[in-house]
Amino acid sequence: MKLRKVTAASAAALVLALTATACGGDSKDDDTSSSASAGSGGGGKIKVGIKYDQPGLGLKKPDGSFAGFDVDVATYVAKQLGYQPDQIEFVETKSADRENALARGDVKFIAATYSINDERKKKVDFAGPYLLAHQDLLIKSDSDISKGTDLNGKKLCSVVGSTSAQNVKKTIAPDAKLKQVSSYSECIAGLQSGAVDAVTTDDSILAGFASQDQYKGKFKLAGLKLSNENYGVGVKKGDTATVDKINKALEQMVSDGSWDKAVKDNFGPANYKNEPAPKIGVIVPNAS
């Protein structure tokens, strides 16, 4: 009888252990596909893609913390999904790897100067847009450049592979002297030293650099609005539930004033004349 009792007890313990193991296996702290409710007090984490090297937008600081408009947007959205700041793991997602990062499930969503266009929409879904940026020029505060044609004969800097500089040469200033480098930081340093006369890319990116302490008051945006860049939050293709939740979070961010505060905090020192917060689902096309 004692043997049967011990055996029964052992069997019961085994069943309980297996049940606990099975339940534990369904919960991963770093599960990027966790629902918003899983983040609400459940100890889960959410992985979010951002840039690490764009001041004012997505920047990893020397102390390991993160700052920028995209970071503020991502943090606000994650909170609306049920995650506190200490439950967010920011993952560097460079431009060339954004679609793959979402497809692999490396991140739940991406907020990284991710312009919405038809080609990208074939591979990922977008919430937003949450910012309307424009291609522009960054010039010295005392520069006499006031229109695109003023760049003829001047030195224009952009990064290798950028379409921004090519756009200027093809449509505005064919005689601009193009200098291509590996990073916008190099362009900004060249602008400061006088090695180049202007830097071109999205005005939000330029404003972020100009807002850095060492550059405050030295540069200005030309305000040319050479293109429309509708920044969206990238989500894995087919994940419409997450898109809907993020859209609601973005609407809330605008309505409660957090969006305006984030713009001023991150771009204010550059006197960035931002567009009003865009309407969800409304894409502003480029002029044909």
| In the chain, where the domains are located | 36-133+228-270, 135-221
Question: Are the folds of 36-133+228-270 and 135-221 the same?
Answer: yes
Q: Which CATH architecture has domain 135-221?
A: 3-Layer(aba) Sandwich (3.40)
Percent of the chain with pLDDT over 70: 85
172: left (phi over 0), alpha (psi -120 to 50) or beta: alpha
Say if residues 35 and 28 touch (Cβ distance below 8 Å): no
**Where is average pLDDT lowest: 158-167, 193-202, 206-215, 277-286?**
158-167
Q: How confident is the model at residue 271 (pLDDT cuts 50, 70, 90)?
A: confident
286: which DSSP letter?
Answer: P
Q: Pick the most confident of 161-170, 180-189, 219-228, 252-261.
A: 252-261
- HSE, side-chain direction, 13 A CA sphere, residue 34: 26
Sign, CA torsion 196/220/270/280: negative
Q: How confident is the model at residue 7 (pLDDT cuts 50, 70, 90)?
A: very low
Phi, psi angles (nearest 5°) of residue 37: -65, -30
Report strand pairing: 198-202 vs 135-140: antiparallel
Helix runs in 105-229, H state only: 118-121, 163-171, 184-193, 203-210
Residue 22 has pLDDT above 70, yes or no: no
Closest CA to 201 of 245, 147, 233, 159: 159
pLDDT digits (tens, 9 = 90+) for 68-110: 999 999 999 999 999 999 999 999 998 889 999 999 999 999 9
Tally of residues, the chain: 288
Q: How confident is the model at residue 18 (pLDDT cuts 50, 70, 90)?
A: very low
Q: What is the mean pLDDT of the chain?
A: 86
More confident residue, 8 or 279: 279
Q: For the chain, give the longest Cα–Cα distance.
A: 100
Residues 147-173 have a mean pLDDT of: 89
- The fold of the 36-133+228-270 domain, in CATH, is D-Maltodextrin-Binding Protein; domain 2 (3.40.190)
Closest CA to 167 of 182, 183, 148, 144: 148
pLDDT digits (tens, 9 = 90+) for 229-265: 999 999 999 999 999 999 999 999 999 999 999 999 9
More confident residue, 161 or 282: 282
- In angstroms, the CA 109 to CA 103 distance is 11
Torsion of CA 93, 97, 99, 100, to 10 degrees: -110
